[in-house]
Amino acid sequence: MVSSGKLHPVVLIPGDGIGPEVTHAVIRILEAAAAPLRWQEARAGIAALEAGGEVLPEETLEAVRRTGVALKGPCTTPVGKGFSSVNVQMRKKLNLYASVRPVRSIGGVPTRFENVDLVIIRENTEGLYSGAENRVTDDVVISLKVATESACNRIAHWAFRYATQRSRHKVTVFHKANIMKLSDGIFMDAAERVHARDYPNIEYEQRIIDAGCMRLVQDPTQFDVLLLENLYGDVLSDLAAGLVGGLGVVPGANYGEDCALFEAVHGSAPDIAGQDVANPLALLMSAVMMLNHLAQEREDECASVCSERIKNAYNRALHDGQKTRDLGGELGIEAFADAVIERLA
Ligand code: ATP
């Protein structure tokens, strides 16, 4: 247990593209808020390659295993043969099997719906992200969708436990088991079984993903926690982000048994990198999730107070119209960070 006054060592991976810019702004805000953190910078992605190492250096993974917590900017995977996604590799190697993405309407960010409050829980280790692709003939390639009963059970337990702890009322599985009878079937069966056996307190439903998406964009308030296999979770995260203002405002966390890694849903957005227009809020919100995680896991009241201060400050900034361009404002990255820092009470 870390008591107030102690600093939690956290691995910081700035990443590529807009990663270093938004990370810099977020660190400034965390420091201004006196967050009880001590950074250990590590590399991954293009930044690691350019420093003369592997795209995902072993020492980066070791550092995360050692500290148990990391804040990560988006990493770019070099184009070409021989490189599998850095972000996917990291989740697999650290066994960060549960991805959690809260998608909420934010005051000061007007969108089509006002009361969106969803949590997307994505299985992070298998499905079509198995990386098992083969060329069978010149004309045919195959891609394997992997589902194991153990991983399906594990994520189902995680989702229902999360829903219970956070006082959420319903878990919905999106699936395509009418077509992928075995792989999506096993995912759905696991959720159904775990619900029936251990979580009668939570409402449970299943939706075929195409119809589910239609319902989601018609009225997102009919859903609460969405439980999805890997690829569906990826797609639905961006779709849901579109309901609340876009990728600039959706944070994320990846949890395993031994460590947790916090990162925004967005990628490295090379199209806007270096132009001082990216929104650092998604990474800042991920950092707030990290502080809450430390507060809970290590019973650190100071982390909890700090997370509240930052949340209140960015909410006030948005309410006052202090916004980056993606949200209809005019502020650059550091100017937005200044606006948040000025409002830290
Ligand atoms: P990946 O494949 O790594 O997930 P992607 O192709 O989905 O990446 P992103 O990098 O997530 O693409 O970004 C998609 C678009 O959304 C970008 O081109 C950019 O215009 C916008 N975008 C993403 N993140 C932000 C941000 N933080 N602030 C402003 N705009 C953003």
Specify which residues 40 forms β-bridges with.
11
| Half-sphere exposure (Cβ direction) of 83: Cα atoms closer than 13 Å | 16
CA angle 87, 89, 90 (to 5 degrees): 65
- The residues facing 71 across adjacent strands are 12, 262
Asked whether 208 lines ligand 1 (CB < 6 A), one says no
Task: Spell out the residues 6+ positions from residue 69 whose beta carbon is closer than 8 angstroms to its own.
Answer: 8, 9, 10, 11, 259, 260, 261, 262, 290, 293, 294
* Ligand 1 pocket mutation, candidates 266, 314, 336, criterion most atoms within 8 A of CB: 266
Alpha carbon separation from 239 to 90, 105, 125, 206, 284 (Å, rounded): 24, 14, 21, 19, 21
Inter-residue contact 324 to 108 (CB < 8 Å): no
pLDDT of residue 80: 67
Q: How far apart (Å, rounded) are the C-alpha atoms in residues 11 and 24?
A: 14
- Tell me what pLDDT residue 103 has: 98
49 touches 18 (CB < 8 A): no
| Closest ligand 1 atom, residue 268 Cα | 10
Please give the distance, rounded to the nearest whole angstrom, from the Cα atom of residue 73 to the centre of ligand 1.
Answer: 12
Residue nearest to atom 5 of ligand 1 (CA): 267
Q: How far apart are CA 38 and CA 137, in angstroms?
A: 52
Instruction: Give the DSSP letter of residue 325.
Output: G
User: In whole angstroms, what is the distance from residue 236 CA to residue 17 CA?
Assistant: 23
Ligand 1 pocket check for 77: Cβ under 6 Å: no
Total-model pTM:
0.95
Whole-angstrom distance, CA of residue 134 vs CA of residue 202: 41
CA of 249 to the centre of ligand 1 (A): 11
pLDDT at residue number 1: 36
Q: Give the pLDDT score at 83.
A: 65
Counting from 1 in the atom list of ligand 1, the atom nearest the Cα of 18 is 27
Atom of ligand 1 nearest to the CA of 283: 27
139 lines ligand 1 (CB under 6 A): no
Low pLDDT (below 70) residues in the chain? 1-5, 80-83
CA nearest neighbour of 147 among 103, 100, 189? 189
H/E stretch holding 183 reads: helix 183-198
Q: Are strands 69-72 and 225-228 parallel, antiparallel or unpaired?
A: unpaired
In the Cβ-directed half-sphere of 65, how many Cα atoms lie within 13 Å?
Answer: 11
According to the model, what pLDDT value does residue 4 have? 53
Q: What is the CA radius of gyration of the chain?
A: 20
Q: Which residues contact 321 (CB under 8 A, 6 or more apart)?
A: 108, 329
Q: What is the pLDDT of residues 50-100, one digit of tens each?
A: 998 889 999 999 999 999 999 999 999 887 666 678 999 999 999 999 999
